[in-house]
Each structure stands twice: as C-alpha cells, then as structure tokens.
Amino acid sequence: MTRRSVRSPVQDYLEKIVDACGGTAGEVAAYIPELAAADPDRFALALATVDGHVYAVGDADLRYSIQSISKPFTYALALSDLGQEAVDTHIDVEPSGEGFNRISLEAGTGRPRNPMINAGAITAASLVAGDDTEHRFERIRRWYSAFADRDLTLDETIHRSELATAHRNRAIAHMLREFDVLGDEPERALDLYVRQCSVAVDTRDLALMAATLANGGVHPRSGARLCSVDIVERTLSVMATCGMYDAAGDWVSAVGMPAKSGVSGGIVAVLPGQVGLAVFSPRLDVHGNSARGVTVLERMSHDMEMHLMHVGRSGRTAVRAAYPLQSLASRRRLSEEDRALLDSLDDAAMVYELHGDLLFAEAERVTRRVVDDAPELVVLDVRRVDEIGDVAAVTIWGLRALLREAGSEMVTVDPRGTLTDPDAGTDDEGARHADLDAAVRWCEDELLRRHGGGRPDPQRLVDEHPLLRDLSDEARPAVEALMDRVRHPEGGTVLEAGTTFAGVHLITEGRAVAEVVADDGAARVLVGLEVGTSFGELALGTDDVQETRVRAVTDLEVLRLSADAIDRLTVEAPEVALEVWRAMCRDGYRVADRALRAGITRG
C-alpha cells in the first residue's frame, strides 16, 4: 500500500503562529560587538516533547551563543555537586526586581539575590566542582552537551568579544570576591562565566534541554537521568520567579511557564511533564528578553493551554491501543472477494483507542502517531477519554483537516459526544459512531468504495452466509423451505435477554444491535448487525439461554430457522440437520478466530 503524506497539525500550528506573531520591535544587544552584528531578522521556534520528538520552524539549525540561558543549567550542576544547603549559603533565590546586570546583593550576607542574574550566575559557575577553570568549564560543557544530546563547543569569537567588554561583570566579580562569596579569583570566575555563555547552540538543542527539565531530569531521547527530581524542581522554581529578570511577574502571569532568556535572542520555557520550548529572535525588549520570542510564547501559552495554573490532569500515554482494521473485521457478512480485498489493504485503515484526559501533550502524541502511520482511514475511539481540553480538541480536528487534504478521512467512536465536531450540522461533519463495530463497518464500506467498486449486493451477502452457502444442493432447499421471513419495526425487540433459544436469524434487510441492559435500565451496545449477519445461535452455547437483547435499529427483515424447525430436521432429516450444525460450527469458529486475532493485536 502506498503511504499518504500527512502534515502534522502541530507543525501546521507552529508555522501559522510564527506568521501571526511577526514584528520588528526591539534592538539587538549592542554592548557585545559580536552580538551587535547579528542579523535581527533571523527567527526560530522549536517544541520538544518529553518523549523526544522535536518540531521546528525557521532557522532552527542556526548556531548562536547560549548566553544567560546557560544559567539554570549551571545552577543545576552546582546543586548536583554541592547540594542545596551548600549552594544556598552562596546564592539566594529571591527575585531581584532589577535588570540582569545590576549589582544586587543581599544586605548583610552579600549573597546574590538569585542565580539568574549575572552576580548569581558568576557565583554558581565558581561553585562547580573542578581542579581549575579549564576543568570546571569542561564539566559545564559536557553537562550542557548531555542535555542537548550532542557535543556542544565553545564559540571562541564570542568568548573573546564578550570578555574584552565585560567591564560591569568584571566589577561584579570583584565585588563578590570582596564579600567572600566567590571561592575563586575574580578574573578566573569571570572567564569561566563568559565561557559558559559562549557555548554555541541552536534552537533544537535548547528545546531538548528544556524538555529534559520538563521530563524531570531524564533526557527524552537518551533516557539518561541527568539530575534528580529535587534539583529540577528547585531549578524550575527559580526560573519561574527570576528567569525573566524584572519582567518575571508579567511573564508568570501571562505565560505561566518557568523560562530563561539570553541576550543573543533565545528563550527557553518548560511545561513540566509535557514539553520544552525554545525560541530565537535577536531583537530584545527593554528587559533584555527577545521581543518577538515573548510575543510568540505568550500566544502559544494561551492557544495551547500551557499556563501552569491551567487546571487539568495529564496522562503520559493517550494511545491505549492502535491496530489495523483487518485485525478487527466487522461481524457483517462479506463476500470472499471483498474480504480478500480488505485483507490485502493491510493497514490502510487504523483504529486508535484513547484513554484518560487529553491536553496538548496527549493530543500531540496521538496526532504524531497518526501522521507517522499515515493510514488512509482513521478511527479515533474516545469512549475511554474522560476530558478533552480545548487545545487538544483543536489539535485533533486540525489532524482531520490535514488528513482530508491528503485524501484520507477520520471518524470517531464517541457515543457520549465527548469530542464535539466543530463542523456539526454542515456538509463537512464527520461520521460519529456509537460503537467500534459500526465504525469498522463504515471503514470497510469506504475501502470497498475506494478500491473495489462499491458495496456488495445484499442478496449476495445472504446467499454466502455459511448457513446457506455450505449446504449441499440437496440440503439447501430443505432448509430454505423451513425458514420464515419475519419483519420487525424500527426500535422493536427481536430477541429478549433471558429467553430460551428461538432459532437462527439471518438479516436480509435493515440493521439491528445486540446490547446488554444494566440494572439501572441503561443499554450498552455490544455489536451492530447488518445484512448477511446472523444472530441467535450463540444461545446454543449458553444452555439455550439468550444472553443479550437484539433490537431493530431500522425496519428489519430476517430469515428465521426456528428452534422448532431445527428439531424437525433433526428427527425427519438427520443428514440435513448435520449439515446445518456443521455450517453453524464453521461460522462460530470463524467469529471466534477473528475475535482471538483481534485480541492478540490489541493486547
């Protein structure tokens, strides 16, 4: 089967939001010569999930210096080396309310207010374990590389340019030494700090680094635990309150994610348990944060319900099971040719069973799975889904729109109406089914229409039922002579649960359902029954007691071989009765085999 190319709705959204959040506000950092020469119109956005998938838009592979985005990662390394208590004696965690390069120390102790301002970051770098500056920097570089999942290098040009103009930071370093906050000589501490700021990264790197924090310190791709959950919590807390400097209050109110900016134009943001975000745009606002980056992340937080204070539960895995249609053929009767055609289409149609609550991260995993599989038809079973967030619903319906653009289609199994179709009442409304069997039948019909010329003739389906097809030329007329043609009105009960075996019923017109009724009177549909399908014979395996209620969904016509007729055959024509029993056994084995194969596939 030729795979269809389907775009991801997440990728589609990211590209649209970048176009919607343009602008030329702000200026590049002018106090570092190399940064002043940056192209102000370069832009990149990346989103990394906690299972390691990265979406990227724009110049995502462009390298630039990490600058102050390095601060939370160095702080986490210092915490790993010394422990929180020891680090706290050197660096406080209170917001300064001042610019990133202000001299802001705690009265009495001389501690920097937090590790996100330059005074705190210089101190944090000096606390990293190592024999000398080279050793400390090499440990820092390797630490960043582990978060990025590739070997990062120092940009020597940026290092030289920044070190030559680092007059304020040099003053801060000497002041810290004066208060005995630094354990190293000021020039060595400054050089180490400038080196860490000069490590070259791209926006994909930063998104993965943020996603590692979102994943509790475990790298989404390598699976390596880089730091403990306690250190991640501490680091994210400081990022949330101090990471955006004197704009931290506005940021946490509007965006609501721990974040850190850098004067090269980068910002990282972390939504714990779900995603890491990174944006790059060199023009800075008055706070030293990327102006366009702030706008984009504010918009994403709103659109994608990423604010930490947004109430909702998150599950790690939304896809409970995924399997091809052929592993779950419907109970309806099909010709051998049509069944062979459906089997040959392999996984042209896929069923995805979802469960739990769907927020953005869960919906993203679902859509990514569908896009990777690229089936022709998609059945989304949401019967086990408890709650669907607005952004998750938009993502799911965005997937359907992109599937349709590729010539595919998506239907839902949604008896409770959990997933509201935005196109309801229009020609674009999708098919919504009450049970999985009905959705599978829809897919079978659609595949036959697309690949086999349409649905089979109803009479042919009846003729090919084993109860008639497998009888000899002598036995079939005898059986047909004993079959009654019975009609039932829409909504009427054909068989009631708890009654004795009433015979084998073969549908010739209309549709029915088999259902069970709970103690509170609510009916649960087990399976849909269409033309060419038989029912009633299963009671022969349950002490002649009908276990389910069969109800006509439409006006229904059946051929009925009653229990009395079967008894007459057994007495008057035992050789014919034997053929009937053999035919019913063959059909029972076929149904059981299909159910077994479906169970193996779905398990």
First vs last Cα of the chain: how many Å apart? 25
Is 245 a residue of the active site? yes
Tokens of residue 255, six digits: 């965006």
* Closest to 203 in 3D by CA, of 67, 52, 44, 49: 44
- What is the greatest pairwise CA distance in the chain? 113
- Distance, in Å, from the CA atom of 119 to the CA atom of 100, rounded to the nearest integer, reads 8
Please pick, among 87, 181, 255, 263, the residue that the annotation labels catalytic. Answer: 263
Task: Find the helix or strand (DSSP H, E) in which 163 lies.
Answer: helix 156-164
| Single-letter code of the amino acid located at 498 | G
User: 8, 65, 68, 198: which is the annotated catalytic residue?
Assistant: 68
Residue 260 falls in the annotated catalytic set: no
- What is the torsional sign of CA 438, 441, 443, 449? negative
Instruction: Please identify which of the residues 54, 55, 70, 71 carries the catalytic annotation.
Output: 71
Please state the φ and ψ torsions of residue 501, each to the nearest 5 degrees: -50, 125
380: Cβ–Cβ under 8 A, 6 or more apart, which residues? 352, 354, 366, 396, 410, 411, 412, 413, 419
C-beta atoms surrounding 554 within 10 Å: 13
CB 66 within 8 A of CB 266: yes
Please tell me the distance from the alpha carbon of residue 232 to that of residue 217, in angstroms, as a whole number.
6
Residue 224: other Cβ atoms inside 10 A: 12
Q: 245, 264, 411, 531: which is the annotated catalytic residue?
A: 245
Tokens found for residue 541: 């395996």
Choose the catalytic residue: 13, 75, 193, 352.
193
* Residues across the chain: 603
Residue 433 · residue 411 · CB < 8 Å: yes
**193 assigned to active site:** yes
Q: What b/e readout covers 337-353, taking b as 16+ CB neighbours within 10 angstroms?
A: ebeebbeebebbbbbbb
**319 exposure class (CB count in 10 Å sphere: 0-12, 13-18, 19+):** middle
To the query of whether residue 263 is one of the catalytic residues in this protein, the response is yes
- Using an 8 Å Cβ cutoff, are 76 and 147 in contact? no
Sign of CA dihedral 341, 345, 348, 349: positive
Q: Which two tokens stand for residue 124?
A: 């944090």
- Provide the 10 A C-beta neighbour count for residue 136: 25
Q: Are 336 and 470 in contact (CB under 8 A)?
A: no
> Amino acid letter at 553?
V
Catalytic residues: 68, 71, 193, 245, 263
